[in-house]
């Protein structure tokens, strides 16, 4: 919230000149896509739930993209199954809490931000979940100066984003819900079931206004997560965001991100990198899916998540190797060690998985001889 853009200026049209405030590094969704939201709102004639800026149909269109009757093009924010977005929007429309699950890099936060922006026009009510998130971040805290000076009162109370959303009938987001300690998580139960937040110190409560909803994101395959209690879990409708559907899509994502990161690290561009990227992505996808890309051989899956994000870091690491210690071209040897590190998380079980994969799949594959050798070298 502290870095929010001055509401009086339109960040998309801000020019870094004069005495205007500097352009934010990354504008909020509702600011970046303000014109699309306005166009949608103007042409949206379907019923809107209380305090929603758009109808559920328009929210779905905003996320998935489309062309409005007047020709306005809405860019797709999320590329993936339509079904998922529809379930997510319907969940919010039934005043249920929405839990977005998925491994890192599946656009959970991105989707939640855009949902909040489209539904409430405000994506800034945010609780970032960490291992140290206190109860105050979900319920309320106190302004101790006020508290000591004037005693407990609503003035001395510092509302949390959740409390503000309840009072305003807006959408609040909780990032990384499973990182939050279990006892703090459970303070959400009353909020979600009774839609009320008691303030025993004042003998008061804050009741949620219609339109209040909560979107949580969580990563269910990480270690060290705090499982949701079943009481809390059943307050959520769950949508699992999948990994990219096809190799091509994933190669594209990886290549694009690697390019961005590489530029910011000032790595020299690797001309033939795309083939190696494709190989890394293929290995990741096959191990993840437990079946080879031709669908003919099953393989065991290792314990790691092997997300797209990891593929990106493997390739980036390989590029750095190639640039600084190699001949500047991304080669099998540059990514082999990275892949090994990403795949073999559990030294005993995963090593077997990896070697089986090498012997049963990689060794036989035409054109992969260099890759096989490189992997054998680092695995030995």
Angle in degrees, CA 159, 160, 166, rounded to 5? 85
Q: Considering the rule CB under 8 A, would residue 360 count as an interface residue with other proteins?
A: yes
Q: Considering the rule CB under 8 A, would residue 299 count as an interface residue with other proteins?
A: yes
Q: What φ, ψ does residue 152 adopt, rounded to 5°?
A: -65, 130
Q: Which two tokens stand for residue 156?
A: 């001395």
User: Interface with other proteins by CB under 8 A: which range of 82-90, 165-173, 203-211, 268-276?
Assistant: 82-90
Q: Considering the rule CB under 8 A, would residue 51 count as an interface residue with other proteins?
A: no
Query: Which of 150, 154, 210, 233 lies at the binding interface for other proteins (CB under 8 A)?
Result: 233
Closer by beta carbon to other proteins, 86 or else 136: 86
User: Interface with other proteins by CB under 8 A: which range of 136-144, 232-240, 247-255, 324-332?
Assistant: 232-240
Q: Considering the rule CB under 8 A, would residue 356 count as an interface residue with other proteins?
A: yes
Q: Considering the rule CB under 8 A, would residue 348 count as an interface residue with other proteins?
A: yes
Q: What φ, ψ does residue 157 adopt, rounded to 5°?
A: -85, 135
Query: Which of 109, 237, 293, 303 lies at the binding interface for other proteins (CB under 8 A)?
Result: 237
Minimum distance from CB of 329 to other proteins (Å)?
31
Q: What is the per-residue binding string for other proteins in 100-139, x denoting contact by CB under 8 A?
A: -x--------------------------------------
Q: Considering the rule CB under 8 A, would residue 352 count as an interface residue with other proteins?
A: yes
User: Interface with other proteins by CB under 8 A: which range of 25-33, 34-42, 248-256, 353-361?
Assistant: 353-361
Q: Considering the rule CB under 8 A, would residue 239 count as an interface residue with other proteins?
A: yes
Query: Which of 29, 40, 60, 107 lies at the binding interface for other proteins (CB under 8 A)?
Result: 60
Three state DSSP letters for the chain: CCCCCCCCCCCCCCCCCCCCCCCCCCCCHHHHCHHHHHHHHHHCCCCCCCCCCCCHHHHHHHHHCEECCCCCEECCCCCCCHHHHHHHHHHHHCCCEEEEECCCCCCHHHHHHHHHHHHHCCCCCEEECCCCCCHHHCCEEECHHHHHHHCCCHHHEEECHHHHHHHHCCEEEEECHHHCCHHHHCHHHHHHHCCEEEECCCCEEEECCCCCEEEEEECCCCCCCCCCCHHHHCCEEEEECCCCCCHHHHHHHHHHHHHHHHHHCCCCCCCCHHHHHHHHHHHHHHHHHCECCCCCCECCCCCCCCCHHHHHHHHHHHHHHHHHCCCCCCCHHHHHHHHHHHHCCCCCHHHHHHHHHHHHHHCCCCCCHHHHHHHHHHHC
The partner residues of 101 in beta bridges, in order of sequence, read 218, 240
Binders of other proteins: how many residues, by CB under 8 A?
A: 35
Closer by beta carbon to other proteins, 202 or else 349: 349
Residues in 144-173 at the binding interface with other proteins, rule: CB under 8 A:
none
Minimum distance from CB of 4 to other proteins (Å)?
31
User: Interface with other proteins by CB under 8 A: which range of 156-164, 168-176, 254-262, 346-354?
Assistant: 346-354
Minimum distance from CB of 357 to other proteins (Å)?
9
Q: Considering the rule CB under 8 A, would residue 89 count as an interface residue with other proteins?
A: yes
Query: Which of 109, 238, 293, 313 lies at the binding interface for other proteins (CB under 8 A)?
Result: 238
Query: Which of 11, 36, 48, 56 lies at the binding interface for other proteins (CB under 8 A)?
Result: 56
Closer by beta carbon to other proteins, 330 or else 361: 361
Cβ-proximal residues to 251 (8 Å cutoff; 6+ apart), any chain: 274, 277, 278, 281
Residues in 269-298 at the binding interface with other proteins, rule: CB under 8 A:
290, 296-298
Cα distance between the two ends of the chain = 50
Question: Which residues would be at the binding site for other proteins (CB under 8 A)?
Answer: 56-57, 60, 83, 86-87, 89-91, 93-94, 96, 99, 101, 230, 233-234, 237-240, 290, 296-300, 348-349, 351-352, 355-356, 359-360
């Amino acid at each position: 919230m502290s870095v929010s853009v001055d509401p009086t200026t339109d960040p998309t049209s801000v020019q870094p000149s004069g005495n205007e405030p500097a352009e934010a590094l990354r504008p909020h969704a509702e600011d970046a896509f303000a014109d699309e939201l306005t166009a949608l709102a103007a042409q949206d004639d379907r019923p809107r739930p209380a305090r929603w800026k758009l109808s559920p149909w328009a929210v779905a269109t905003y996320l998935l993209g489309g062309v409005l009757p007047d020709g306005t093009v809405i860019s797709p924010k999320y590329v993936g199954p339509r079904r998922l977005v529809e379930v997510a929007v319907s969940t919010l429309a039934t005043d249920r809490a929405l839990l977005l699950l998925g491994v890192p890099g599946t656009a959970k936060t991105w989707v939640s931000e855009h949902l909040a922006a489209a539904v409430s026009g405000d994506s800034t009510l945010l609780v970032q979940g960490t291992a140290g998130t206190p109860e105050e971040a979900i319920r309320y805290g106190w302004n101790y100066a006020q508290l000591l000076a004037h005693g407990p009162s609503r003035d001395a109370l510092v509302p949390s984003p959740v409390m503000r959303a309840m009072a305003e009938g807006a959408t609040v987001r909780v990032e990384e819900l499973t990182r939050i300690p279990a006892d703090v998580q459970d303070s959400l139960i009353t909020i979600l079931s009774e839609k009320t937040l008691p303030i025993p110190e004042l003998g008061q409560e804050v009741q949620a206004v219609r339109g209040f909803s909560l979107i949580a994101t969580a990563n269910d395959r990480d270690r060290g997560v705090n499982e949701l209690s079943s009481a809390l879990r059943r307050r959520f409708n769950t949508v699992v965001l999948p990994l990219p559907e096809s190799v091509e899509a994933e190669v594209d994502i990886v290549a694009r991100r690697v390019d961005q990161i590489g530029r910011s690290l000032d790595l020299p561009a690797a001309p033939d990198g795309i083939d190696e990227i494709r190989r890394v992505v293929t290995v990741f996808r096959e191990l993840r899916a437990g079946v080879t890309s031709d669908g003919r051989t099953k393989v065991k899956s290792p314990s790691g998540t092997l997300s797209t994000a990891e593929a990106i870091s493997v390739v980036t690491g390989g590029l750095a190797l190639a640039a600084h210690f190699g001949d500047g071209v991304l080669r099998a040897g540059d990514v082999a060690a990275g892949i090994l590190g990403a795949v073999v998380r559990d030294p005993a079980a995963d090593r077997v998985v990896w070697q089986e994969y090498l012997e049963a799949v990689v060794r036989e594959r035409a054109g992969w001889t260099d890759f096989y050798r490189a992997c054998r070298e680092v695995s030995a």
